[in-house]
Structure 1
Amino acid sequence: MESLSKFDGIVIDGKSIEFVRMVMRKIRGNNNPDLYLKPIFSMNGNAHADPLIAQLIDGKLSSFDQIPLVHDTTESINKLKNELKFINSISFEAQVISKLMGYMYTRSLKELEPIPYANSNTHYSFPFLAYNYEEQDEYQIFDLLQIAVDEGLMTAKYFDRVYLCTSCKSSHLSYREACNKCNSTNTNSFDIIHHFPCAYVGPITDFTNDLDDKLNCPKCSKALKHIGIDYDKPSVLHVCKNCNHRFQDFVVLAKCMSCRLDNPVEQLVSREVYSYTLTKKGEDIALRGYSSTPKDIEEIIGTVKFDTYRTVVKYEIERIRQTEGSSNIVAIHIVNAGQFYAKVGSNGQQAFLRDIVGEIRASIRSSDMITFHSSEMILITMNDIPNKIANRIVIDILNLLRKLIDTNFKDLSLEITGTAYQLNLESSSELQINDLINSFK
């Protein structure tokens, strides 16, 4: 997939909608801007009939002979892409917001509207964002866009409302009337008849017979001829075939087709759906990148900003040049961080990062510094110790973090690695930090 980044654009065979969806997810969901911002065109077939695909392609071709016709579109997108500055985002949310801003900027989009989509887990889809989340986690897009609104990157306008399962947050719900005693949907319903002359009230079955289809009152034996004159039907009686309970008011349940939970409708999760407009601040963010949401760093005690970390490493190199000491920079790499953060959500991510920083801080000296380079990379300084000892400490930290993950996130798979890099006097601090980070790619 990375090899596609060297091309100006991509043409996808559109005969198979499933194939195009798979390729689009891999490209638009990639974290490399040379891929997720790549101009994409479909050729042949009717894949563009899918609403998500139609939103995420940059044009349709009927043959390779038409490629020159999309040259201007391709050149325009790539030119706008070259205006953007790409920085590493601290959190998954900041990373996806940054990607969205960049995508909208390169396509000259000002509006972001939800589209009705049966395959979406929330029945409304924001196409570019949808391919950055697993299907079952799409409901988190609502929270992501609220962050963008709170930050002034977008304005919101009410569009619609959806109701989600209380367990898995899916909107694939089947609404059914059920017995208010045992919740069974296996019921019969009968009209209630009120006979005016004798005031008898009972189910219609009391007025029927096996000989004909006429209605006769079981109390006075008179025939019921004219509704509204002889009788009326004031209500309906329901009979449960499961527990034989008789009742007049159903309970309405919403059965989740994703997790099979029967939800009382009054307990469903209500979410407002909005359309969004990019602000000037949002355009500026697209140009200079979005590193973190306000709470990404502020709530994690024990860390410093990345710029501070770079300055400290720069001066540490100058210090060991005078003292001939031995100092190290360390990287802890969370390999599949994006998928993990998407599953645990914003609050789970914050709790996880706080726990990680706490474990690391307990394993190093108070003078050593911790920073986040990205949502998947944590950097540490370990000064005045040999590299061999620094790597032993790293191994101990990794073991502690893996134990922490196994204890608190048993059902989620997370791979974590790390190493210590001894600072040298020949290369700049920037180059050495970049070499350490790139060693995990």
Structure 2
Amino acid sequence: MDIHDNNRISMYVIGNDIPINCQDLDFIYVNNLDELTLDSPSVIILALEPKKQNQALLSLHQDFPLWNSQVYVLQESTLTEYLSDGIFDPFKITEQWKQHQSKLSLIEEEPTDKLLAWLWLGLDRRLLPLCQSEKRELYYYPLLHCYFGEDYEPYHYFQLEEKRGYLEKLNTVDKIRLCSSCHSGHLNYIETCPDCKSANIEEILSLHCFTCGHVGKEQRFVKQDKLQCPNCFTKLRHIGVDYDRPLERYQCRDCQLSFSESVVRVRCLSCFHMNETSE
């Protein structure tokens, strides 16, 4: 971006014409990113529909020396909060650019970590996680992926930069559980057999006759809407006196084990590994 002696500011606009009449601003219109040449710190304004705007934001951070520039949009999109400086305001841009230049003057040479430089130069810039259900890990950091690639593991980077004092935790957005095998967040919590771990279990409603000790399914004790032992034919009127319910409420259809409580385990829907909840 150039600041002329007459205090007019020139800005690169990618997309449609901006319906703004501001005497102090000069708009340089660019049809697409291929025509954009950033030889010096610049102000870039995206005048695109949301889908193309997201693509442009990704491309700007991945393919251009954008760390020393400012990027604004005309409307919100999925990646606006993560990769831009927000909605363009023609009445604030002059002061915003002066503040940006003031901090930029403190950087004597091109930084090695351009992601940190981008964050430091913007007063309201944050490294934020975005939740997308199609992602294996559910959450990812769009800005981090732009500068280091999609396969980059973020948590070691966070720990290192926090220890060095360059990054600071702000707040907890969410808590997720990840597969101990492939680290996917797509998990299914299921009740399983405590012995063979099968999910093929059924709940059994059984009764125990105190008179003869017979134990069987409840439906076999029902006769004309009343309870009667199918073995000794004793009428069962009071639970705890004539009969009770056995502790074993479930049965595994695979190994035939009867048990009182199932065990909740976690099957990964990405690699199908069966996780213990303690993992």
Instruction: Determine which of 136, 139, 142 is the counterpart of 2:155.
Output: 142
Given the alignment of the two structures, is residue 217 of structure 1 paired with residue 229 of structure 2, yes or no?
yes
Work out whether 1:189 is the aligned partner of 2:208: no
- Secondary structure of the residue aligned to 1:253 is strand
State the 1:106 CA deviation: 1.9
Contiguous gaps of at least 5 residues in structure 2: 1-32
Structure 2 letter corresponding to 1:184: S
TM-score if structure 2 supplies the norm length? 0.64
Q: Which residue of 1 aligns with 2:58?
A: 25
Partner Cα separation in structure 2 for residue 252 and residue 56 of structure 1: 40
Quickly say closer, same or farther: Cα 1:243–1:102, change in 2 above 3 A: same
- The residue number in structure 2 matching 1:40 is 71
Deviation, 1:225, is 4.6
RMSD of equivalent CA atoms: 3.9
Which of 262, 266, 274 is the aligned partner of 1:254?
266
In 1, the alpha carbon distance for the partners of 2:148 and 2:269 equals: 20
Could you tell me which residue of structure 1 aligns to residue 121 of structure 2? Answer: 106
Q: 2:187: which partner in 1?
A: 173
Letter in 2 for 1:190: I
Shift in alpha-carbon separation, 1:244–1:70, aligned structure 2, 3 A: farther
Percent identical among aligned pairs is: 24
SS of the counterpart of 1:259?
A: coil
With over 3 angstroms needed to count, the CA separation of the structure-2 counterparts of 1:187 and 1:59, relative to structure 1, is: same
Give SS of 2:278's match. Answer: helix
**CA deviation map 1:41-66 (0-9, x unaligned):** 3445x62xx3x5433332236xxxxx
Ranked by relative contact order (alpha carbons within 8 Å, sequence separation 6 or more), the top structure is 1
Q: Does 1:10 align with 2:26?
A: no
Q: How high is the TM-score relative to the length of structure 1?
A: 0.44
Counterpart CA distance in 2 for 1:22 and 1:151 is 33
After superposition, the Cα gap between the structure-2 partners of 1:53 and 1:111, relative to the gap in structure 1 and judged at 3 Å, is closer
- Give the corresponding residue for 2:15: none
Aligned residue type for 1:104 = L
CA distance in structure 2 between the partners assigned to 1:37 and 1:245 by the alignment: 66
Alpha-carbon offset, residue 70 of structure 1: 6.0
* Count of aligned pairs: 242
In structure 2, the CA distance between the partners of 1:40 and 1:211, relative to structure 1 (3 Å rule), is: farther
What secondary structure is seen at the aligned counterpart in 1 of 2:161?
helix
CA deviations on 1:230-286 (whole Å, 9 max, x unpaired) are 55546453233344443444343322233333333333xxxxxxxxxxxxxxxxxxx
- Per the alignment, residue 251 of structure 2 pairs with 239
Structure 2 contact 85–125 (Cα < 8 Å) conserved: no
Q: For the residues of structure 2 that align with 1:126 and 1:42, how far apart are their CA atoms?
A: 20
User: Offset at 1:202?
Assistant: 4.0
